[in-house]
Structure formats: structure tokens, C-alpha cells
Amino acid sequence: MSKVVKFGGSSLASAKQFKKVGDIIKADPERRWVVPSAPGKRDKKDTKVTDMLYACYDLAENNKDFSKALEAIKARYDEIIKGLKLDLDLSDEFATIEKNFKAKAGNNYAASRGEYLNGIIMANYLGYEFIDSATVIFFDENGNFDGEKTNEVLSERLSKCENAVIPGFYGALPDGSVKTFSRGGSDVTGSIVSKAVKADVYENWTDVSGFLIADPRIIDNPKGIDVITYRELRELSYMGAGVLHEDAIFPVRQMGIPINIKNTNAPEDRGTWIVGSTCQKSDYVITGIAGKKGFCAVNIEKDMMNSEIGFGRKVLQAFEENGISFEHVPSGIDTLTVFVHQDEFIDKEQKVVAGIHRLAKPDTIEIEADLALIAVVGRGMKSTRGTAGRIFSALAHKNVNVRMIDQGSSELNIIIGVSNEDFETAIKAIYDIFVETKL
């Protein structure tokens, strides 16, 4: 058995947190592969080291004095080193970073140093080998992650050691220069390493005990999710539920490796298991609820639309021509509605309308703004009768007017459109009916 353990920034923000992490790793000899983030916030007002690095490099790039900003970053690491009583001095590393900043090494390089330096400390603290991710994680000349080459080199490299620390968030382009994933990308590194070593589990350690059924800003103390499938998670994270980087799912999913989201501050908690498939029923019919505000609905009407071949394509072409992606397209016999993000759409509204007129020659076009979409997700819905009925009667009870309904063909989710102002009420009503009253 071998496990990959990835620790997020808040788990590594201070020496105290590092010690918790050390204890977690040492408690289980299967935790052989460690992927650290950069130090995160020690408290609410603190700044993540990654953000300090971006700001510091900004100064360097604009030929401003960045020595103080770099010193503040070094102080963050020195505090950790001192707190852990390590015999380690990062002065040479910082001299190299300073030199490279002066030579305008780029903000990807700058940001990556957060994980790189934390990796050096972690390896020293654990007595594990340090592997610079720039030597084992690769991007192609277009900046896209090169999964094949990475898997080949990384699995070969890791087969030669018993345990290692591989910093998260970055790799190298073909010319050797550093390239980072998008923000939060250490999750992706953890997944890539898990695939390369064919880990039994990818443990992703953070500061919460897994996913919650609904957003805690809307629901007081929502219940946690014990087990969720990759597909359910995709649906929920697409609709705004965040904890894990979206791209972190793909490498492990290919290999059927489960992800366990765990809490560094409460390691005994079971956390959430993310799995390929499961026969485990969740405690509730639904697995989770997520949603977003700020959508527009473009309603297009045309007599005999249903018999006109290519109508939908022509309408969508008007959106494509303007670089707008659509979210949902529910349709009736003579109507078709396109849901789009309001902030993407608003400036191009009249161009899109003109495009639809030109391409599809509709009778009328109406636009409605300030709508919210809510996804109710659950693998259990497929085999449960009356789920939709319960959702809609709960919403009717709370006087929420449903503007759109879309059930995915997978029967894994039901998407509901409501007005922005009904968003919170609707989520509360759905949570209540399935979780509180467990109907």
C-alpha cells in the first residue's frame, strides 16, 4: 500500500501546523509521497506566501526595489525553520531567487518558489528525499500539461526512492523554464503523483473535514458528505462548490484511485471520500446542493421552430461568434432559451441579438437578467421516486417561483433556475426537505 499526501497552505502556514503534518505522516508508514503547498494564511488577516511572491515579483518586473518584500517572504520561512529547530539555511536559495527576479525570470517562476522552498523544509523535517517538480512534471510548448511524458519520468524517478517530497503547483516547459498550474494547482500535482506511483489513496489534507452538502454561508452547520462520486463532484464544483481544484480529478480518475479529503486540524475525522463508483448509499437522497447567481436567459421564439432543422445550431452560432459559452439550453415546441453568464454576456448583448436575428430569423427575442441556477446533485435520485416533486413542492411552499428546470440525462442532477433574490431561500428549502426533515 502507498498513499500520496498533499497538504494545503493553511496546513503548512506555521511551525505549529508543520508539526501536525509531521505527526500525521509519521503515524502511517504508507504515507510515502508528500506534496506540499506554499505556506498559507496563519490567520484571517495574513497573506499567503504565493500572493507575497506575486507582489514581490511585480516590483522586480517594474524595476522597483523588492528587497524588503523578499525579506518578508524569507522571514515567513525562517520562522518555520526556527520553530521546527531545523539545521537549515535558505540564504543561498534566496540569493538565487533574488538574482533570477532581477533577470526577470517571470511570475510563474516567482510563484513556484513558494512550494519549492516549503518542499525543501518539509524534506529536511521528515528526512525524505526532495525532488524538484521542474525535473519531473512537464508542460508542452503550448503550455499544456504533458501527462504522458510526466507519468513516464515521474514514475521512473519515484520507483527509485522509498519516500519523497514533491512540491505542488509547478513543473517545467520544454525549454526548462518553470510553469505553474492555475491557482490551487498543488491539488493537481498530488493527483499526478498518485497516478505515477499507482497509489492506493490520494489523501488531500486541508482545513475542513471534507465537503459539505451545502454552502455554510447559506446553511448553518450543514452536514458533511461521506462519499461522493467523481461525477457528482464535477457537477457540484462546476456550480461553485470549491475545496479541490477541478483538474485534480482527472489523473486519479483514470486509475480509479480514490481521493480522501482530510482535516489536518482534526485528523481523526473521516473526511470525504471521492470515488469512481460506489454502492454506498448516502444518508440522504441528495449528495449536495450548489449554485451560482448572475445568469441571463435569452428566450427565443419562432412559430414552427420544432420542425426547422438547424434552428438550435444557428442560435448557438450567434453566441459562439461572440465568444460566449452557454450554460443550459432548455427548449419548448416553439421556444428555446439560452442561459449565459450575465457578466460575459452583458457587453455583447446587442451583438448577440443581432446575430440571432441574422442567422435564425426568430419571431421574438426576450432577455431576462439576474437569474440564479441551483444544481441538486445525487446518485441516489435515479432510483428514488418523487425527488423532483419534493423539490418543487418545497420551493412552492416558500413562494419561490421556478423559472427553469433541466434534468441531466444522467439523472444525476436537477438544475433549477430562480431569480437571484430567491437563491438563498431556495437552497434552504431544498436542504430542509432532504436533510433536516429527511423526506
Give residues in contact with ligand ASP (CB under 6 A): 9, 37-38, 48, 50, 114, 168-169, 183-187
Helix, strand, coil share (%) of the chain residues, nearest 5: 45, 20, 35
Chain centroid to CA 41: how far? 18
Which is nearer to ligand ASP, 245 or 379 (by Cβ)?
245
Q: How far apart are CA 315 and CA 246, in angstroms?
A: 30
Which is nearer to ligand ASP, 168 or 222 (by Cβ)?
168
Which is nearer to ligand ASP, 181 or 284 (by Cβ)?
181
C-alpha torsion sign, points 396, 400, 403, 405: negative
Q: How far is the CB of 187 from ligand ASP (least distance, A)?
A: 6
Which is nearer to ligand ASP, 189 or 337 (by Cβ)?
189
Which is nearer to ligand ASP, 48 or 428 (by Cβ)?
48
Which is nearer to ligand ASP, 171 or 362 (by Cβ)?
171
Q: How far is the CB of 74 from ligand ASP (least distance, A)?
A: 17
Which is nearer to ligand ASP, 244 or 338 (by Cβ)?
244
Q: How far is the CB of 113 from ligand ASP (least distance, A)?
A: 10
Q: Are 115 and 38 in contact (CB under 8 A)?
A: yes
Q: How far is the CB of 373 from ligand ASP (least distance, A)?
A: 26
Which is nearer to ligand ASP, 105 or 433 (by Cβ)?
105
Q: Which residue is nearest to ligand ASP (CB)?
A: 186
Q: CB-side exposure of 122: number of CA atoms within 13 Å?
A: 41
Three-class HEC string of 214-277: CCCCCCCCCCECCEEEHHHHHHHHHCCCCCCCHHHHHHHHHHCCCEEEEECCCCCCCCEEEECC
Q: How far apart are CA 416 and CA 153, in angstroms?
A: 46
Q: How far is the CB of 211 from ligand ASP (least distance, A)?
A: 17
* Radius of gyration from C-alpha coordinates of the chain: 25
Enclosing H/E stretch for 6? strand 3-7
Reading the block at residue 158, the C-alpha cell is 519515484
Q: How far is the CB of 190 from ligand ASP (least distance, A)?
A: 9
Reading the block at residue 359, the C-alpha cell is 442567422
Q: How far is the CB of 51 from ligand ASP (least distance, A)?
A: 7
Alpha-carbon distance values, 345 to 177, 321, 350, 371, 398 (Å):
37, 12, 9, 13, 30
Which is nearer to ligand ASP, 274 or 415 (by Cβ)?
274
Q: How far is the CB of 9 from ligand ASP (least distance, A)?
A: 5
Give the residues across from 202 on adjacent strands. Answer: 4, 259
Q: What angle do CA 155, 157, 163 make, to 5 degrees?
A: 90
Q: How far is the CB of 168 from ligand ASP (least distance, A)?
A: 5
Q: Identify the residue whose cell numbers are 460575459.
A: 344
